[in-house]
Amino acid sequence: MPDIEPAVAPQDPRVFFFDTTLRDGEQSPGCTMHAGEKLRLAHQIASLGVDILEAGFAIASDGDRDSIRTIAREVGSSAQAPIIASLARCKREDIEAAAHSIEPAARGRIHTFLSTSDLHLAAKLQITREQALDQIAEMVALAKSYCDDVEFSPEDATRTDRDFLIRVCEVAIQAGATTLNLPDTVGYCIPQDYAQMFLDVRARVPGIENIVLSAHCHDDLGLAVANTIASVEAGVRQVECAINGIGERAGNASLEELAAIFTTRKDKLPYRHNIVMSKLYPTSQMLAECITFGAAPNKAIVGANAFAHAAGIHQHGVMVNPLTYEIMTPESVGVAHNSLVLGKHSGRRALEQRYVELGQPLTREQLNTVYTRFTELADRKKTIYDQDLLTLLKPEPKVSAIA
């Protein structure tokens, strides 16, 4: 296996994107994909510029293992391709399956994990803290024997006793982990708490300066992206995320939102990344074709309404200068153009512009007449089509007097 890239020091402005759409995303309700869909999407995600592509959970099924191996061979075979990662519990059979699945990749990674919170240890694993430490040491070392690039995640890190978490990190590093991912598994943290956990780890764990720290946040409280940004400011240099934010329960941190934040707010977040911004929307659309739902209309960056304007004041502003209501251009994220949606909140300027686009320029008097008829229609009809607008141009039928 070729040498992995050197660890990134906390002061380095580079942020690595770890995409887990095909693993954490795919294991959520409504998101199951067959092998062909996963391969197609893997090619697209690789072209998006992600640094690490988590292709699946090899032990989950023969199909998942074979799918990871196909992605490793067909997407990850060149030195320029993303690192192909496979998830594994801290169990021998998991790690062996993961190692087999990533063999064809030019650069592979085994991502292994074990719960570390007292709640998980007692209720789920029914083991002691010491038994957990022994299992981490043994299984990280086993993963290291197969692959130079090993990521370890203490599941439920944010609810793990801090002193014990420090010990867990020490053991994982000593066993050979090159990346430490401290997940907010249940989406419980607020940004300052999540950042403080990484600051504590950086201050107290020997050898942490040679390790890449990673964030994996769930969106149960709607804070996944905010928590991830806070962690980067605390020294994290790998962000784990998914297209459209899909993932367990409320989902993961959204890849497109993180990329857009780093790109749009360089004044506050001067971090480099490799994401090709113009491919965000096409990638979102491809994912929607592969699973049972698309992005919510009001989803940031890639939602249908992200660059749509319905209020007359907004429409007027955008027509004069898009910067009045758009902090990024739709083209910058792969959307063809913005849209002015005509409805009861629209103003005369937007209506006039739409008639020009339809080849029906209006005089001021005509516009005033049609606008009155338009607002009356919009109060009764939620969606106004071009045919409706053309019908409004026709003279109102005269009502004959009844003798």
Residue 230, token pair as written in the block: 């806070």
Residue 313 within a domain: yes
Q: Are 329 and 243 within one domain? A: no
Which residue range is the domain that position 210 belongs to?
16-290
What are the C-alpha distances in Å from 397 to residues 339, 372, 384? 33, 16, 21
Asked if residue 65 is part of any domain, the answer here is yes
Q: Under 8 Å CB-to-CB from 259, ≥6 apart: which residues?
A: 17, 273, 275, 277, 280
pLDDT at 310: 87
For residues 347-352, give the mean pLDDT: 92
- Asked whether residue 248 falls in the same domain as residue 346, the answer is no
- CA dist 31 to 21, 89, 186, 246, Å? 9, 22, 19, 8
pLDDT of residue 312: 87
CA dihedral 57, 184, 50, 104 (to 10 degrees): -20
Report which of 261, 291, 231 is spatially closest to residue 32, judged by C-alpha positions: 291
Residue 107 shares a structural domain with residue 166: yes
Q: How confident is residue 3, by pLDDT bands cut at 50, 70 and 90?
A: very low
Q: Is residue 327 part of a domain?
A: yes
pLDDT beyond 70 at 10: no
Mean pLDDT of the chain: 94
Tokens of 17: 């994107």
145: pLDDT confidence band, cut at 50, 70 and 90? very high
Burial 94-130 (b: 16+ CB within 10 A, else e): bbbbbbbbbebbbbbbbbbbbbbbeebbeeebebeee
Whether 402 is covered by a domain: the verdict is no
Please tell me whether residues 282 and 330 are part of one structural domain.
no
**Does 249 score more than 50 pLDDT?**
yes
Task: Decide if 264 is inside a domain.
Answer: yes
395: pLDDT confidence band, cut at 50, 70 and 90?
confident
Question: Is residue 258 located within the same domain as residue 333?
Answer: no
Look at residue 299 and tell me if it is in a domain.
no
In the prediction, which pLDDT does 403 show?
Answer: 43
Q: How many domains does the chain have?
A: 2
231 domain residue, yes or no:
yes
Residue 219 shares a structural domain with residue 162: yes
% of the chain residues with pLDDT over 70: 95
Residues 163 and 205 in one domain: yes
Per-residue CA distances from 277 to 45, 51, 70, 334, 402 (Å): 12, 14, 27, 7, 66
Looking at the fold, whether 225 and 363 belong to one and the same domain comes out as no
Structure confidence at residue 20 (pLDDT):
98
pLDDT digits (tens, 9 = 90+) for 196-205: 999 999 999 9
Residues 164 and 50 in one domain: yes
Asked if residue 398 is part of any domain, the answer here is no
pLDDT, one tens digit per residue, over 66-124 is 999 999 999 999 999 999 999 999 999 999 999 999 999 999 999 999 999 999 999 99
User: What is the structure's pLDDT at 340?
Assistant: 86
Q: What confidence score (pLDDT) does residue 398 get?
A: 59
What pLDDT does 7 receive?
40
Query: Which has the minimum average pLDDT: 178-192, 215-229, 290-304, 333-347?
Result: 333-347
Q: Mind listing the pLDDT tens digit for each residue in 359-381? A: 999 999 999 999 999 999 999 99
